[in-house]
Amino acid sequence: MTDQPQYSAGFRDRLFDKDPFPLAIWYPSGVAEKPVRHMGVASTAARGTAFASDGPFPMVVFSHGSEGHRFNQFWLAEYLARRGYIVAAPQHAGDNYLDPSDARQLTIIERRPREMALALDLLLDHSDIAPHIDQDKIYALGHSAGGATVLKMAGWDFDAKAWQSYCAVNADKDHVICQYAPQDHHIEGLQGRYDGPVVSVRDERISAVIAITPAFGVAATDDGLADIKVPVLFVEADTDEILLDHVNAAHFRKLLKGRAKFVRIKGAGHYSFLPKCTPYIAENFGFLCRDFGRDR
């Protein structure tokens, strides 16, 4: 991928008459960009314009973090669109800023990758969009809980029993991960659906994965990661103030040593991968603006 923009960033939101969830896409366009705002943050895009004519283009499906939204990494989506990629971002039902009712629970652990697969189904069946997608180059990208989501799409058998066991002795030290740890009846339900205490939802259409500060490393085991065959890149924060390193970033590094690539971003915190903070966000959600030496 060239570092120089080759296109303008096209943008469309809520693509379908009856959305199963809000879905936004960014894509290569040849039309000049105009000012837009995503969740109060100013940017530019060519809203509602035609695709550039020299496709098809590789596509990235993006999964946002817990209690986030489809615009969480719009800056990255625009960057990729200007360099010849389509980026599709669904807003996960029950795990977004408007409705966090299922956040960090086993229910959403199962549903998130299925929503990603459904978004891909809808786009590949869309008469206007599908012809522009290079179906041999479909990738998955996610941040935090979204990082865990795309790893499951790559073939991670998410071990809910390991999650439960970890939280049985670490709940007071890891509230973020253990607040909604699965109970025995949840584990029994998985046994019936997956023939084991795991969530197994590989999507064979995914050619490679980028996981940015992925969560739920406590559910990663040697056996659970054994069937990941596609290239995987982990992007780590230098100082992750949300996810404990030894059971997340360091744990993934240990289990996937020699099988995946790892990049650590100096001066970055867990939320450094979100857009620049506005004064309103800084005043009302200051924790989202905290960085550790790198100006986003």
Q: Which of 89, 39, 93 is nearest to 63 (CA)?
A: 89
Domain segments of the chain: what residues?
A: 8-289
Alpha-carbon distance of 86 to 130, in angstroms, equals: 11
Residues 156, 234 contacting (CB under 8 angstroms): no
For the record, the structure tokens of 205 come out as 């259409």
Alpha-carbon distance of 17 to 246, in angstroms, equals: 45
- Neighbouring-strand partners of residue 236: 264
pLDDT of 17:
64
pLDDT of 293:
57
Alpha-carbon distance of 235 to 253, in angstroms, equals: 11
For the record, the structure tokens of 187 come out as 């584990």
Domain topology for 8-289: Rossmann fold (3.40.50)
pLDDT < 70: residue spans in the chain: 1-2, 17-18, 284, 287, 291-296
Alpha-carbon distance of 168 to 242, in angstroms, equals: 19
pLDDT of 134:
99
137 CB neighbour count, 10 Å cutoff? 15
Contacts of 262 (CB under 8 A, 6+ apart): 233, 234, 236, 249, 252, 253
Whole-Å CA distances, 168 to 106, 108, 159, 174, 283: 16, 21, 15, 11, 36
Collapsing DSSP states into helix, strand and coil, what is residue 287?
A: helix
pLDDT of 276:
80
